[in-house]
Amino acid sequence: MKMLWFHLMPYTELPDDFKEKHPSVWVDIHSSLFDPKRAHHMYNDFLDELEYAAECGYDAICCNEHHSNGYGLMPSPNLIATALARRTTDTAICVMGNSLALYNPPTRVAEEFAMIDCISGGRLIAGFPVGTPMDTTYAYGANPSQLRERYNEAHDLVMRAWQEKDTFAFNGRFNQQRYVNIWPRPIQQPHPPIWIPGAGSVETWRWAAERDYVFCYLSYYGYKMAQNVMKGFWAEMDRLGKDRNPYRAGFAQVVGVAESRQQAMDLYTEPAEYFYGRCLHVDPRFASPPGYTTEATQRAGLESQVKMAAEASKAGPSTQAPSAMKMQMLARDMKGIVDNGYVIVGSPDDVTDQLMELAKTLNIGQLMLLMQFGSMSKDLTKYNTRLFAEKVMPRLKPLFAEWENKWWPQPMAKSARASLPAFAGSAPAAAE
């Protein structure tokens, strides 16, 4: 099993009364809450934490893209990935990812990802999210009715740009370029591994499977609430005749480990309540721009609602509900957060057991770990990261050894790679 250390880069100093006084952490969060001089320290702490995770032996370090967002300070994940490429040596760098439809022209993504792949010596995992409604349609003004069509076309353009040997003209519906010829070109051939973050949409599962990409379910609500989505995903893989290789799927999980369960509760309550209480406070008016959810997905959601109503069963938050809607129904206190399984906290044994259960019930080979969450300090983040690496990681690593991970970067041979100037991670005796 692969373990990826994922940073959202939250602004860690939102005020205590944030939820009461401010309508949304996203889109129209007020600029007065942002102190650039504090952000200087946050960015540098976050980069330290990612580099530390690489040092501790995580298989990959991950970053992602958000806009106008108080819990995600990475409008450009590519900047972060490039900084990391120069301060790590062997760890894969997972950019989860670039929202293709937002780049004009989309070949910008092909270029920047190729740059990261070259600088890192072929360590890039290329994520292609559609992007949330908040990021794409509201913060960036993308038309929700065209977003997916533009995403699909941009994907085709980027893939051709990486693979075609000669300059070509792209005559698309939304993008027209006379001379497509990207320099630099990616080290990994025919292209870096492609991972698709998504939610419970059958169309996305199918689209990813047809192209043999990894599907990642990036939920903040834990593995218990993810059961139905992943069951649906694997059932769809069966229908498509794909094997149940667990490396086809990724899942994000918030984790806090300590010596004991009680100690974990003491340490992680504050950052967890900060994350679920302040970071995920999104105004529902930004939840569902019309057209963002396809009619097929709306139909599936409505049909299951109708079915549930007919069976008079009590429906939880629908897996089809837009993310900002789900965020309205969240538990915000630690008891609810833990009882609902959003976070896994406990002793190394507790955490190992639950992650084993996660991996086996969801059949997940690419596990993305959110180990800095909310207002968590650098010290606590490093403690969490180190303890997990020492006590939990070795027990999870052998899982799924019988499967081949065909979706992992293929870097240049170590001996052929550039030597970087000395830093903690590159020193021969770095791992104490």
**Phi/psi-derived region of residue 313, left when phi > 0, alpha when psi is between -120 and 50, beta in every other case:** beta
Return the number of the residue (240 or 306) whose C-beta is nearest other proteins. Answer: 306
Which is nearer to other proteins, 154 or 358 (by Cβ)? 154
Cα(67)–Cα(139) distance, integer angstroms: 6
Q: Which is nearer to other proteins, 302 or 329 (CB)?
A: 302
Q: Which 3 state secondary structure label does DSSP give 14?
A: coil
For residue 249, give the H/E element and its range: strand 249-257
Task: Give whichever of 149 and 270 is closer to other proteins, judged by the CB atom.
Answer: 149
Compare residues 77 and 133 and give the one whose CB is closer to other proteins.
133
Contacts with 405 (C-beta within 8 Å, 6 or more apart), sequence order: 2, 247, 365, 366
What single DSSP character describes residue 183?
S
What's the Cα-to-Cα distance from 67 to each of 8, 38, 102, 245, rounded to whole Å? 12, 19, 11, 34
Give the residues across from 301 on adjacent strands: none
Footprint of other proteins (CB under 8 A): 137-138, 141, 143-146, 149, 173-174, 284-286, 289-291, 295, 298-299, 302-303, 306
Nearer Cβ to other proteins (82/146) = 146
In the block, tokens 């599936």 appear at 300
Name residue, tokens 């769809």: 236
Which of these, 281, 291, 316, 317, lies nearest to 150 by C-alpha position? 291
H helix runs in 132-226, sequence order: 133, 147-163, 202-210
Structure tokens at 170: 């792209």
211 vs 307, which CB is nearer to other proteins?
Answer: 307
Cα–Cα distance measured from residue 6 to residue 8, given in angstroms and rounded to the nearest whole number: 7
325-346 core/surface letters (b: 16 or more CB in 10 A; e: else) = ebbeebbbebeebbebbbbbbb
**Residue with Cβ nearer other proteins (199 or 300):** 300
**What token pair was written down for 414?**
């170590």
